[in-house]
Amino acid sequence: MTKEQENNQKNKCKYKIAQIASLTGAELKGQADILVDNACGVQESNQSSVTFVDQKDYLKQALNSKAPVIVSSYQIYSELDSKLNSQKTFLLTDNPRRVYALAAAALTARPYQSQKISKKAVIDQSAKLGKNLSIHPGVVIAENTKIGDNTILAPGVIIGPEVEIGANCLLHPGVIIERDSIIKKRVIIQSGAVIGSDGFGYATDSDGHHKIPQQGNVIIESGVEIGANVTIDRGASGPTIIKRGSKLDNLIQIAHNVEVGEESLLISQTGIAGSTKLGKRVTLGGQAGVVGHIELADQTTAAARAMVTASTKKGDFISGAPAQNHRQALKEQAYLRRLPKYIEKIKKLEQKLKELESK
Amino acid sequence: MTKEQENNQKNKCKYKIAQIASLTGAELKGQADILVDNACGVQESNQSSVTFVDQKDYLKQALNSKAPVIVSSYQIYSELDSKLNSQKTFLLTDNPRRVYALAAAALTARPYQSQKISKKAVIDQSAKLGKNLSIHPGVVIAENTKIGDNTILAPGVIIGPEVEIGANCLLHPGVIIERDSIIKKRVIIQSGAVIGSDGFGYATDSDGHHKIPQQGNVIIESGVEIGANVTIDRGASGPTIIKRGSKLDNLIQIAHNVEVGEESLLISQTGIAGSTKLGKRVTLGGQAGVVGHIELADQTTAAARAMVTASTKKGDFISGAPAQNHRQALKEQAYLRRLPKYIEKIKKLEQKLKELESK
Amino acid sequence: MTKEQENNQKNKCKYKIAQIASLTGAELKGQADILVDNACGVQESNQSSVTFVDQKDYLKQALNSKAPVIVSSYQIYSELDSKLNSQKTFLLTDNPRRVYALAAAALTARPYQSQKISKKAVIDQSAKLGKNLSIHPGVVIAENTKIGDNTILAPGVIIGPEVEIGANCLLHPGVIIERDSIIKKRVIIQSGAVIGSDGFGYATDSDGHHKIPQQGNVIIESGVEIGANVTIDRGASGPTIIKRGSKLDNLIQIAHNVEVGEESLLISQTGIAGSTKLGKRVTLGGQAGVVGHIELADQTTAAARAMVTASTKKGDFISGAPAQNHRQALKEQAYLRRLPKYIEKIKKLEQKLKELESK
């Protein structure tokens, strides 16, 4: 990056706090013209930081920090001793985490944004490239591909044939997008993730397992984030779909023809078997597993390590292996813990009964 | 790909249906000279498709589809109303999934088959290269390696020193084959898989954990398929072996000196600890785990999430954690669900007994 | 490698056994000037091998092997029939595995040690490179990085911006080190591991999940080994730390701001959720999971598949899901297995009581 570009970039991430208030929809209390260039925790803050308090206990620390601006809730602000806060400017909101996230996003440079196409990338001449791309060394882009404006391909990213990638995406190092995949806008994919591997489909007879060609693809909708070393299989026929705004943590397995609904959250090491459909805002805890060919309704939550073997109804909260209603699962667990005591009781009952009978 | 190559490739995957019947061993009922160039589900079918029905319920849909050819069973065909099927040609068999798989394989081009060696690949001069290879940009091939005829190395594949790869293999993007590994014929490896990482072996004392050099290798026999981001460790001494025709799904861990028997099926996120031996046609469900130093006999099936802690006998079907006979595991689960009811009964028994005693 | 280098390397790994005794702290019984150049199992041994016996049953085999040198314990040596061992030289110790590991390490060449910087690597001009590096084709090193002396970067390794790597490290093929990470000395990272992916952090409201920029980094201390396809997330703010001498197996997930204590052992497919701290010498069995924001005290052991939901005390041994004291967990399991029998007893008691009442 030239000094000029460096300055440009720095300038882009420097805002008057009034601009941040307007961007995030928060109410400004204090000086509107403070310049900020970073958002961080109280302890790491400096004289141009926006910091964040969503519990009253941490307020004092924030007031004593170097940060000139504090994102907080109306609630916490209202309880504030008026003598203390004279030095600080506040961004007030009912959802401080949201405002902080939006402020931090505005104040954080996108990684790998070189705005250059490296000569050490290998790009097929049939590829249709958008504007303002950052394409790093070691990237390979195959034939008949499209890459949207402002998209960043970090070092070692591999884009297979017939792939389409939308605008403003960020693919971290070593991401692999297999043939025919469609990645929409503002998608972030962490390092080592594989999108579009063949699904696990075989026809078995006495000669062995005969591979059924996996002819579908993968569609990743806008605003999705995919974690490191995740694997998402292409459909056997038709697509595997990750819908708008869903977030997948690391090392997750998504089998062929799965559909993950809008704004779902899948925690790391989760696995979903073939053709299962998740509704909107489904949450799967870490290391959960979901069998194939079922439907998890909107707002289903499965706890960590749940083994989900049946379809759910809207808003169900399930846990255990096999998963059941969470309250029921906790009850069962509690009974199990009391089992030794009750087995003792049975033995005593037998003894007493024997005594009674012999009378 | 030039237009000419494109046409060549298309021609290769265009067959008269009589040829497909002969290739797959199915019986042809209908017109022998229909030209087909794809195999797919009923809904995606077009005028040159082979499609597939193995349940009577879906037959009507297939008869109304654009596909001129239907793979089905004698059973379903025999129940067919003779007026309906006049338009379609049938490929009949006792195993429609097998015939469909073989037909689809014949009608599907191998991905990444460029039949070129890219100048953007880095190939050590000591490497012995077979005929008709497809080696893509970003591939690195180290010293003293052998690559068999017709093998495809997709972009970013890394072949370590002293590796041997047989004929007709397909390594998807970003696959890593570590030093000394032996990959036999017709092996398919999905993206991001690592073959031949060091096993987890240390000698511990008060100074810490001292690495025991892992001096074995990995042998992948013919016809095996390995899923995306799988890890297979080299033996500590002697090989880790995946035997002929086995299929491994994504994100599986195979530890050092494991042996996976012929035609086994391992579903995703399974882990097998060191030195364990699997027999022929062993099936492990998703997220199953197998401890080290045991033997699973031929045709053992462990259900999803099974935690296998003991050797098995031929044909065993086990589940649960720790795994036990599946029927027993289901029974135990059922009893557990009834536990609250029985604890109530114990309380009532105690009460009644007290009443009896006080009489 | 030239013939000369090859010879150099071979010479480096050839020792008089007296040197190995001195290096490993073992006592030499036999001929001090035997030349050895490899360490291996009894069956693979040749006339210049050091081999290893830590169980008396295997001693005879070792005595009949080609290996001139046997590492063993004083105990086993003392029970040896004096007529048998005349031919062999012994390295004696109380910890044969440790001595064997150290001997094998001395006798094994580091893989990928080319001592060359490939012209097919892409190295930013701002990178500060140490002495005697081995940098292979396909490596990409970004701006403002430091690489310590004698470090080996195998083919396809990607080093992000602002990364520091210490001396004597070995990064296997395809390893990805994301921006800002710090890797100290003598660290080994197996293929496909991702260090420094973004943590899973979002602020949720009715519009969706808003990404909270992950501004921390990852610190890997000296002597750590990281397995294949492991993912270690950067801190949200502040570091994620893997402390000195810890060893991580394959396919493990470490979330943001986790701290793994010194000399811990994490077996494959383990997952640790955000901000959890592990003490020294903590052991997690395969497929274990640990929830966020807890502390596992020094020398905690969690068995395979444990689901750890609460902090522990020093030396705790826990198992099960949710994990509890291991002895307690085994007892609970045993009671569960006896449950059918006790439910039968309850039924009989009810029957008898009815009979008594009706008398």
Is C269 close to B255, i.e. CB distance below 8 A? no
pLDDT at C78 over 60: yes
Strands B208-211, B202-205: pairing kind: antiparallel
CB-CB neighbors (< 8 A) of B152 in chain A: none
Q: Do A271 and B251 touch (CB under 8 A)?
A: yes
Handedness of CA B54, B59, B61, B63 (dihedral sign): positive
Which chain B residues in 309-328 lie under 8 Å from chain A, judged by CB atoms? 321
Interface of C with B in 73-92 (CB under 8 A): none
DSSP string spanning A51-74? EE--SGGGHHHHHTSS-SEEEEEH
Q: Which band of pLDDT confidence, cut at 50, 70 and 90, is reported for residue B86? A: low
Mutation test of the interface with chain A: which of B95, B102, B172, B355, choosing the one with the most A Cβ atoms within 10 A? B172
So what's the pLDDT on residue B83?
58
- Cα–Cα distance, C118 to C142 (Å, whole number): 16
pLDDT at A86: 62
Q: Which residues of A touch C271 (CB under 8 A)?
A: 251, 268-269, 286-287
Name the one residue in this structure whose structure tokens are 């990482």: B197
Q: d(Cα B173, Cα C213) in Å, to the nearest integer?
A: 30
- Quick: pLDDT tens for B96-143: 999 999 999 999 889 999 999 999 999 999 999 999 999 999 999 999
Q: What is the mean pLDDT of chain B?
A: 92
Burial of A2 (C-beta count, 10 Å sphere; 0-12/13-18/19+): exposed
Residue of A36, A42, A98 to mutate, testing the C interface (most C Cβ within 10 Å of its Cβ): A98
A154 vs C contacts (CB less than 8 Å): 158, 160
CB contact under 8 A, C265 and B346: no
Contact B269 A273 (CB under 8 A): no
Instruction: List chain B residues with CB under 8 Å of C287.
Output: 271, 287, 289, 307
Is domain C178-322 classified as CATH 3.40.50.920? Answer: no
Residues of chain B in contact with residue C108, where contact means CB-CB under 8 angstroms, are 213, 215
What's the distance, CA B274 to chain centroid? Answer: 21
Contacts with C, A 3-62, CB within 8 Å: 39-41, 43-44
Helices A96-107, A17-24: crossing angle, 10 deg rounding:
120
Strand-pair partners of C260: C242
The pLDDT of C195-205, averaged and rounded, is 96
Return residues 283-312 of B near A (CB < 8 Å): 286-287, 304-305
> How far is Cα C330 from Cα C337, in angstroms, rounded to an integer?
11
Judging contacts by C-beta atoms under 8 Å, the chain A residues touching residue B112 are 160
B304/A289 touch (CB, cutoff 8 Å), yes or no:
yes
CA angle C54, C59, C60 (to 5 degrees): 165
Chain A residue closest in CA terms to B187:
A211
- Exactly one of A136, A210, A256, A326 is catalytic; name it: A256
- Which of residues 205 through 244 in chain C touch A, CB cutoff 8 A? 205, 208-213, 215, 229, 231, 233, 237-238
Q: Per the CB < 8 Å rule, is B104 touching A176?
A: no
pLDDT at B80 over 90: no
Question: A3-107: which CATH architecture?
Answer: 3-Layer(aba) Sandwich (3.40)
Complex prediction ipTM: 0.93
Mutation pick from C231, C293, C330, C350 vs chain A, by most beta carbons of A within 10 Å, is: C231
Closest Cα in chain A to B113 = A161
Nearest CA to A312 out of A322, A330, A298, A326 is that of A298
Q: Which chains touch C (3 or more CB pairs under 8 A)?
A: A, B
Helix, strand, coil percentages in chain A from 3-state DSSP, rounded to 5: 20, 25, 50
The Cα C125–Cα C144 span in angstroms is 9
pLDDT at A93 (0 to 100): 94
The pLDDT of residue C286: 98
* Cα distance between residue A27 and residue B71, in whole Å: 66
How many angstroms separate the CA of residue C351 from the nearest CA in chain A?
Answer: 11
**Phi, psi at residue A63, to the nearest 5°?**
-65, -30
List active site positions of B.
Answer: 256
Residue B8 confidence (pLDDT)? 40
Chains within contact range of chain A (3+ C-beta pairs < 8 Å): B, C
Our CA-based measurement puts residue A346 at a distance from the nearest CA of chain B, in whole angstroms, of 7
Inter-chain touch C205–A98, beta carbons under 8 Å: yes
- Name the residue of chain C whose CA is nearest to A109's CA: C213
If one compares C150 and B79, the residue with the highest pLDDT of the two is C150
Picking from A194, A210, A356, the nearest residue to B356 by CB comes out as A356
Average the pLDDT over each of B142-146, C40-44, C128-132 and give the range with the smallest value.
Answer: C40-44
Query: Does the distance separating the beta carbons of C174 and A155 come in below 8 Å?
Result: no
Q: Inter-chain contact B108–A289, Cβ cutoff 8 Å?
A: no
Angle in degrees, CA B263, B267, B272, rounded to 5: 85
- pLDDT over 60 (residue B9): no
The tokens for B73 are: 């069973």
A306: left (phi over 0), alpha (psi -120 to 50) or beta: beta
Mean pLDDT within B50-56: 90
Which residue in the set A237, A339, A346 is minimally distant from B44, CB to CB?
Answer: A237
Q: Does B203 touch chain C (CB under 8 A)?
A: yes
Domain ranges in chain C are 3-107, 178-322, 334-359
- Residue A347: phi and psi, rounded to 5, are -60, -45
Taking only Cα atoms into account, the Rg of chain C, rounded to an integer number of angstroms, comes to 27
Per-residue model confidence (pLDDT) at position C70 = 94
pLDDT greater than 60 at residue C287: yes
Contacts of residue B263 in chain A, CB cutoff 8 Å? 208-209
Chains that touch B (3 or more CB pairs under 8 A): A, C
Q: Which residues, other chains included, contact B90 with Cβ-Cβ below 8 Å and sequence gap of 6+?
A: B28, B29, B30, B69, B70, B71, B72, B77
Quick: pLDDT tens for B200-224.
999 999 999 999 999 999 999 999 9
- C231 chain-A contacts, CB cut-off 8 A: 190, 192, 227-229, 250-251, 268
A contacts of C323 (beta carbons < 8 Å) = none
Distance from C-alpha of C234 to C-alpha of A172, rounded to nearest angstrom: 14
CB B85 within 8 A of CB B103: no
Comparing B82-91, C73-82, C164-173, the range with the smallest average pLDDT is B82-91
C-alpha distance from C124 to closest chain A C-alpha (Å):
10
- Of B213, B214, B247, B216, the closest CA to residue B230 belongs to B247
Residue A152 tokens, joined? 């960043």
Give B-chain residues touching C102 at CB under 8 angstroms: 203, 210
pLDDT by residue for chain A (359 residues), tens only, comes to 344 434 444 545 789 999 999 999 999 999 999 999 999 888 888 999 999 998 888 888 889 899 999 999 999 988 877 655 568 999 999 999 999 999 999 998 899 999 999 999 999 999 999 999 999 999 999 999 999 999 999 999 999 999 999 999 999 999 999 999 999 999 999 999 999 999 999 999 999 999 999 999 999 999 999 999 999 999 998 999 999 999 999 999 999 999 999 999 999 999 999 999 999 999 999 999 999 999 999 999 999 999 999 999 999 999 999 999 999 999 988 988 888 888 888 888 888 888 887 87
Residue of C nearest to A355 (CA): C356
CB burial of residue B314 (10 Å; 0-12, 13-18, 19+): exposed
How many beta-carbon pairs under 8 angstroms link A with C? 182
- What does the alpha-carbon distance between residue B161 and residue B151 come to, in Å, rounded to a whole number? 18
- C104 and B342 in contact by Cβ < 8 A? no
Contact (CB<8Å) A233/B229:
no
Which residues of chain A are within 8 Å of residue B265 when distances are taken between CB atoms? 202, 209
Distance (Å, whole) CA C171 – CA C155 = 9
pLDDT at C2: 40
Is pLDDT at C337 greater than 90 in this prediction? no
Of C97, C100, C305, the CB nearest to B321: C305
